[in-house]
């Protein structure tokens, strides 16, 4: 299989700390750059062990992503989980966009592993007829314009692909559908973040997630000053602070 070089800034990261672990996942077409501030904050302020995997096919080239599947992305997160399991007594998971979708998927599939989950603008559906037609249509182009850098704060740019490979659109629809079906299996404490104005993931995802998980301990936090890539936007400190409190409360 062809090896693709990793873009500078898209490398996976790992901060060794306490026996409390946090897995942070970036989103669709994005990179670990979008999660580095949050990961570093949790390691520095909380002293936690934090891992930020690079999802397969991301941070390299769109051609690499076109060859990657939803199963590959799940495996990328599973490998990070397994690394945390070797040294951590409690593990939490968070993620942005599709990373939030993966956080939900993992919380449903591994209820014995995760002590809490915190999706940030996570998607279990997309209200985008154009993307839906790409997922299920025929005779399509290889790529379409990208979805990165939906950021309110001027001058901040997300490291993400400028285009989306059409095969990857089919894969994210498969992942969202599977995750939506799994929501009732989620029982761990939940902290759901959602930007009030989000041009990529419709904000109605958050109430849907909130209402359909089986968690008794759950909180929905609306982000009033950020667009989709909230972990790089005006509310990044709010997200980091709320997540720190959430983990401290549950870590024991």
Catalytic residues: 97, 198, 228
CA–centroid distance for 204 within its chain: 17
28 touches 96 (CB < 8 A): no
226 touches 96 (CB < 8 A): no
Residues annotated within the binding site are: 28, 98
Residues annotated within the binding site for substrate are: 28, 98
- 3-state class of 2 per DSSP? coil
Instruction: With residue 116 as reference, give the H or E element that holds it.
Output: strand 114-120
Quote the tokens at residue 27: 């989103």
Give the Cα separation of 43 and 167 in Å (integer).
36
Judging by beta carbons within 10 Å of its beta carbon (0-12, 13-18, 19+), is residue 211 exposed, middle or buried? exposed
Quote the tokens at residue 99: 């990373």
- 3-state class of 28 per DSSP? coil
Tell me the CA distances in angstroms from 176 to 69, 74, 97, 173, 246, one per residue in order.
Answer: 13, 12, 11, 5, 25
Give the Cα separation of 165 and 68 in Å (integer).
10
Quote the tokens at residue 34: 């979008």
Give the Cα separation of 31 and 24 in Å (integer).
11
Beta bridge partners of 223: 195
């Amino acid at each position: 299989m062809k090896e693709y070089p990793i873009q500078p800034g898209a490398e996976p990261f790992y901060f060794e700390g306490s026996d409390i672990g946090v897995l942070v996942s970036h989103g669709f077409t994005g990179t670990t750059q979008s999660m580095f501030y949050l990961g570093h904050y949790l390691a520095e302020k909380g002293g936690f062990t934090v891992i930020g995997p690079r999802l397969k096919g991301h941070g390299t080239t769109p051609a690499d992503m076109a060859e990657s599947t939803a199963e590959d992305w799940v495996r990328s997160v599973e490998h990070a989980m397994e690394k945390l399991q070797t040294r951590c007594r409690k593990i939490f998971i968070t993620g942005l966009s599709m990373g939030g979708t993966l956080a939900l998927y993992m919380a449903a599939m591994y209820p014995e592993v995760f002590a809490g989950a915190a999706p940030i603008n996570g998607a279990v559906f997309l209200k985008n007829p154009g993307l839906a037609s790409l997922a299920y249509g025929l005779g399509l182009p290889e790529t379409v314009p990208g979805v990165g850098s939906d950021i309110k704060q001027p001058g901040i740019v997300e490291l993400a692909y400028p285009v989306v490979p059409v095969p990857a659109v089919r894969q994210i629809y498969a992942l969202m559908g599977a995750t939506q079906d799994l929501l009732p299996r989620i029982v761990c404490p939940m902290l759901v973040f959602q930007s009030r104005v989000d041009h990529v993931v419709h904000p109605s995802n958050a109430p849907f997630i909130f209402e359909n998980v089986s968690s008794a301990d759950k909180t929905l936090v609306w982000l009033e000053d950020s667009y989709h890539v909230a972990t790089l936007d005006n509310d990044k400190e709010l997200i980091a602070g709320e997540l720190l409190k959430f983990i401290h409360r549950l870590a024991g």
